[in-house]
Amino acid sequence: MNDFLASLYFETDPLLEKLRGYASAHNVPVLRPDSAAFLRTLVLLRKPGKILEAGTAIGYSALLMAKAAPDALIETVELDADTAAVARGNLRDAGPDIERRVRVILGDASEVFASLRGTYDMIFLDSAKGQYVHMLDDVLRLLSPGGLLVADNCIFYGKVFDEPASAPHKHRTIVANMRAFIERVLCGGEFDGSLLECGDGMLVAVKR
């Protein structure tokens, strides 16, 4: 199925295609093509006015969302200064409208989320996988009622399907934290959501 899907998704936007090429040449992890297509569909459906993202990398997903929601304001948090600088350059290359609407914040997403006020219509988590669960209280506080939470890499190469004890030692904490995150979002009564086998696992949930 993955090979079939990979043959179907291709980027038609020249700048997004350029960023994907750069990411592949420089080993920067960006959304897989099927996840990118799904994220774009979600944004087109939901038409969020304000989006918060954790994990900018070189700005690929931020640019994709900005293009899918032409009126949206996007704040995106990146930990690595060099990567954030590349993202800012890419967003500048996308033109003044995109540069005005997308703000790259340099910092640790957990700390930045904790410091933010106001509300967002959509939050996209794509940073340190083991931290999602620790960010959930802030995600809930920052999401407007009916707001959309999307989180990538929730299947973590299939490792979340098994108990953390059976994961390689270096992955145990991430697996345990990711399972706790998924359980709280799907079973905690605060969201209605689903975990989809799209890309490396996308969790999509609506705040009650």
Ligand X SMILES: C[S@@+](CC[C@H](N)C(=O)[O-])C[C@H]1O[C@@H](n2cnc3c(N)ncnc32)[C@H](O)[C@@H]1O
Q: Residue 86 and residue 18: Cα distance in Å, rounded? A: 13
Binder among 15, 16, 31, 143 for ligand X (CB under 6 A): 31
Total number of residues shown for the chain: 208
Binding flag, residue 65, ligand X (CB under 6 A) = no
Q: Is 20 exposed, middle or buried (0-12, 13-18, 19+ CB in 10 A)?
A: buried
Q: Residue 121 and residue 104: Cα distance in Å, rounded? A: 18
Binding flag, residue 154, ligand X (CB under 6 A) = no
Report the nearest approach of ligand X to the CB of residue 73 (Å).
Answer: 17
Report the nearest approach of ligand X to the CB of residue 145 (Å).
Answer: 25
Binding flag, residue 77, ligand X (CB under 6 A) = yes
Binding flag, residue 126, ligand X (CB under 6 A) = yes
Q: Judged by CB under 6 A, which stretch of 6-14, 25-33, 136-144, 183-191 contacts ligand X?
A: 25-33
Cβ atoms of 126 and 54 within 8 Å: the answer is yes
Binding flag, residue 138, ligand X (CB under 6 A) = no
The distance from CA 80 to its chain's CA centroid, rounded to whole angstroms, is 16
Q: Which amino acid is at 183?
A: E
Binding site for ligand X (CB under 6 A): 29-31, 54-55, 57, 60-61, 77-80, 83, 108-109, 126-128, 131
